[in-house]
Structure 1
Amino acid sequence: MDVFVCAGCGAELTVPLARVPLPVEAHFSYGHGVMPQLMAPGTYAVDPEPSGPPFRPWEEIGEAEAAARGLFAPVYPLSFGAPDRIVVAPGDVRGTRLIPEHSGDACLGMCVGELPSMACVACGLLVASRVDDCGLWQAVWIEPNAVRRVATGLPVPARELEPLAPIDPLGGWSDAWQAATGAALADLLVASRGAPLALPDGLLSEVFGAPLDALLPPGPPPKRVGLAGPGLPGDGLDIALVPYDRVTGEPWRPAGGAVPVPLPDGVWAYLALPGETWPLPASGTLPDGVLRDDYPLPDHPWYVFRPDHHAFRATLARRPEVREPWLRALFDRGF
């Protein structure tokens, strides 16, 4: 567990936090309503790439400079802000005061501006930016040069795999699910090397089937795609959708040489862990001729699930394979 302290005076600015992978959806906006918080309480993530202002047009960046940053296809807008910003849940911040006038071009709340919008109470150093504008995940982004990470020596609490439902509280498809599957769709294309993919029946097919049918040519022999992770070795798979390792943050390594495609823990757990699917009593059976009328049908939005195309393009742009003509054509065309 770590705490972040002010680089100016050493005052503690957060509660003890455990590091987790950066959520795929961190930099994407959705709709015009109030969004939930990005990070779970007690966790933090680090964005290794530059984020926030200033921005430069892609056309000003040469291929060599872009490739040095790990970009192999156009990204708009291209940030030249600080790398390694730290993101935490707003409720995990301590010892700061808000400076609303430092907010950026916001609509109904605050977003990242030219200057950080949170200052250390003890010394006044600008340390972080509060984000809560409409369509943006609620979060506090901490400036890496304004803080120091201090190990507490406390053990990281054991975390169980908690399934994340694909339906949001308002009855629509989850934004986090759409972002996660958009990124995974890009990695599935890279792993396919242009061959058709065979998906198991069920939610995996509902999520990825239509986009893959549109992006990859039909024909045998398809590569087998499935789930692998704790309790699922992934035997016989060519490509395995896997969770992140709970300790290292690296994608789970499936057995048998299958190519891993990572999914956030909650999405993977919902797909992999069994849930209640059979409307029968806990013990015994219903009498003949008796039908239950109190078992709800699964929630299902009225519109077709679509992986997030922004996450798809952002992920594919960071894969060197996108320079291959067939993948670059799919990047330009979308799905």
Structure 2
Amino acid sequence: MTVFVCAGCDAVLSGRLARVALPVHAHQKWGNGLLPVLMEPGTYAVDPEPSGPPWRPWSEIGEDEAAARGVFAPERALSFGPPGAIVIAPGDARGTVLIPDRCGGYCCGLDGRDGPNLACAQCGLPVAARVDDCSLWQSVWFAPNAVRALPDNQPTGRTTGWEWRKWQALPPVAPDGSWDPRWAAAVGAALAHLLAASEGTPVALPNGPVTDTFGHALDALLPAGTPAKTVALAGPGLPARESTRRILLVPRHPRTGERWLAPTTAETVPMPADAWKRLASPDEPLLLPVTGGLPDGVQRDDPLPRYPWQPLRPDWGVFLHTLARIPAVREPWLRGIYDRVKDHPYARPF
């Protein structure tokens, strides 16, 4: 477990936290309403990329310098601030106060546009940005150079093993019938990797949830014809896949972020563990607490499955962000897809 303290005066700024993988939807913008809290209570994640000012436009950076940063397709601007921003749930923050002249936002709250808007209550050092505006996940982002991590050597209670049966599956559909934004982000990121692995040729999808999830988008972005590769699920608890002409959808570990290593030479496409489990175990029953009346072994059949009121639209922002960081995007056919989606982000299938 870790506690974060102010770099200026050592005041405690967080509760005791366990590190987990940075959510794929950490920087997502979705809809025009308020989104829930990004991080689970008692956890934190670290963004390896630079964040915050100074920003430089793509025209000043150039392809070689951007590629050295791990960005291989044009973006409007890149941050040249320090890497390693730390994100926590707002309820896990301690000992901070708002900075009144840095409380900018779009309409419903704060978006961190003015830099750190939280200061250490003890010494006044700007330490973090509170984000809670519409379309953004609610979070607190510690500036990496404003805090220090103090490990307390206490066990986290979270395993680094592949105990996939303990993972929570992500329901794709929200209670109101809309697609869950976390699902749209997970699909958008995986779609970018799927396209790169396809090498621009048609792929065959297995019947069922994988086709339901990716079929519409791949039909729109890849040419028609005889499939050159097949897509399959792989991971802990599933049988091994032995073909080199396969593309395997595999989970990222929810704590470490590591991609599951398939025991073959097949290409792998990572997905967040909760989304992967939903595809791997689509019929897993939702167990609900009940009181009296039901015999042993009988499960309730409610709530009824949720059905969406519109087709799945992968998150185009997450798709572009992910694709820009895959070296294969420099190939003309894939760069063409990137440019087309960037210029027309709401065209099919987005």
Map 1:15-34 → 2, pairs under 5 A: 15-34=15-34
Distance 1:23 1:175 in 2: 12
Match of 1:181 in 2: 187
Q: Does 2:281 match 1:275? A: no
Match of 1:121 in 2: 121
Q: Does 2:206 match 1:200? A: yes
Residue identity opposite 1:250 in structure 2: E
Conservation of the 8 A alpha-carbon contact between 1:103 and 1:117:
yes
Map 1:289-328 → 2, pairs under 5 A: 297-328=304-335
Match of 1:84 in 2: 84
Residue identity opposite 1:209 in structure 2: G
| C-alpha deviation, 1:96, in angstroms | 1.3
Q: Structure 2: which 5+ residue stretches go unaligned?
A: 160-165, 287-293, 342-348
| C-alpha deviation, 1:100, in angstroms | 3.7
Match of 1:230 in 2: 236
CA gap 1:30/1:247 in 2 versus in 1, 3 angstroms: closer
Conservation of the 8 A alpha-carbon contact between 1:5 and 1:14:
yes
Distance 1:32 1:6 in 2: 34
Conservation of the 8 A alpha-carbon contact between 1:127 and 1:147:
yes
Q: CA RMSD in A?
A: 2.2
Identity of aligned residues (%): 56
Q: 1:251 aligns with which of 251, 259, 269?
A: 259
Q: Does 2:228 match 1:218? A: no
| C-alpha deviation, 1:34, in angstroms | 1.1
The residue matched to 1:243 in structure 2 has which SS?
strand
Residue identity opposite 2:326 in structure 1: R
Residue identity opposite 1:217 in structure 2: P
Map 1:17-96 → 2, pairs under 5 A: 17-96=17-96
Distance 1:38 1:66 in 2: 28
Match of 1:291 in 2: none
Distance 1:256 1:239 in 2: 11
Structure 1 residue runs of 4 or more that deviate by more than 6 Å after TM superposition: 281-285
The residue matched to 1:140 in structure 2 has which SS?
strand
Conservation of the 8 A alpha-carbon contact between 1:233 and 1:254:
no
Conservation of the 8 A alpha-carbon contact between 1:53 and 1:114:
no
How many residues in Structure 1 have an aligned counterpart in Structure 2? 324
CA gap 1:130/1:113 in 2 versus in 1, 3 angstroms: same
